Copies of this chain bind each other. A is one copy, B any other.
């Protein structure tokens, strides 16, 4: 919890996900910033459904999933679920399948289940530890969260170091912890940063999450529509393009919210550097061919909040993510440092993943 007091409301762990009784409360990003409210989930299936329904998105599902694992341990402890590893495996699979493109949560849960298997397979661990399943699970998950917190701190130091004066920054969607802390640290170092925030249709993560969060931290924000990024760059207002990544493959392909590509091409055209925050490049995705791209319901494009934007009879498309070619990216900011996209596999590819790792 080292970061929470510096973060805007939407990124605080207690807002993203918390356990209350035998239920998980997920901060409802769909109602933010007008309401600080939660969706309550009484089963893992309900958590998965909430993620699919965009109650939380971006980096939110990772924190939600970790908290769900804590809750599953409590359910087992209370005799509400079978006391075996498979209960966790099943829960992890349900959550991982909720949205297919961002694999950070799925890989983190997989690692957690491997670590937890010691508890079930090794009698000596149970007896040598003076604790129950809940405290063992919590200790594993505390370590996972601490690792991510440290990653966000070091990545945001690198992000802040890019800003060397009174500069304009363009982003896309909601780039979460590393980006938000970068802008905060750059500001604290005396730079006057102006962040240009595209609204990010159809769910308005930019106008609802990014803009109010930065404003809450006292950072200058200018909201624009999704078509205005190149306009701003053409007018000379943008010194840096900075986004998160939902996924980075081993060929340096960056996957992020649809709309990111248009601005990456614009930045390339105007010779503006593009840096990407990626807390967990995926060693199992060798090239963009291995990436599962989510197509969401076009009906989501036909409305904005409670307003219809067109007739119900008009066909609409909602590809949720863009693939950005490595040639458009200056560097990827990772927990291992700032890495050229061409070199990402050197730092992340696991030996022997050339064959079949993507399956």
A125 interface contact, C-beta 8 A: no
Not counting A222-B316, A228-B259, A231-B319, a sample of 17 additional A-B residue pairs whose C-beta atoms are within 8 angstroms of each other reads A196-B317, A201-B225, A204-B309, A211-B311, A211-B314, A212-B310, A223-B317, A224-B317, A224-B318, A225-B301, A226-B226, A228-B262, A230-B265, A261-B266, A265-B269, A269-B269, A305-B308
Of the residues B223, B259, B266, B322, contact of A301 by C-beta under 8 Å: B223
A94 interface contact, C-beta 8 A: no
Q: How far is the CA of A123 from the CA of B11 in the complex (A)?
A: 78
Known: A226-B227, A230-B262, A230-B322. A305 touches B302 (CB 8 A): no
Q: How far is the CA of A221 from the CA of B310 in the complex (A)?
A: 12
Copies of this chain present: 2
What chain B residues lie within 8 Å of A317 (beta carbons)? 196, 222-224, 228
A198 interface contact, C-beta 8 A: yes
Of the residues B207, B227, B316, contact of A310 by C-beta under 8 Å: B207
Interface size counted on chain A using CB atoms at 8 A? 59
Q: How far is the CA of A221 from the CA of B268 in the complex (A)?
A: 30
Residues of A within 8 A of B (CB): 33-34, 172, 196, 198-202, 204, 207-208, 211-212, 215, 220-231, 234-235, 258-263, 265-266, 268-269, 298, 301-302, 304-311, 313-319, 322-323
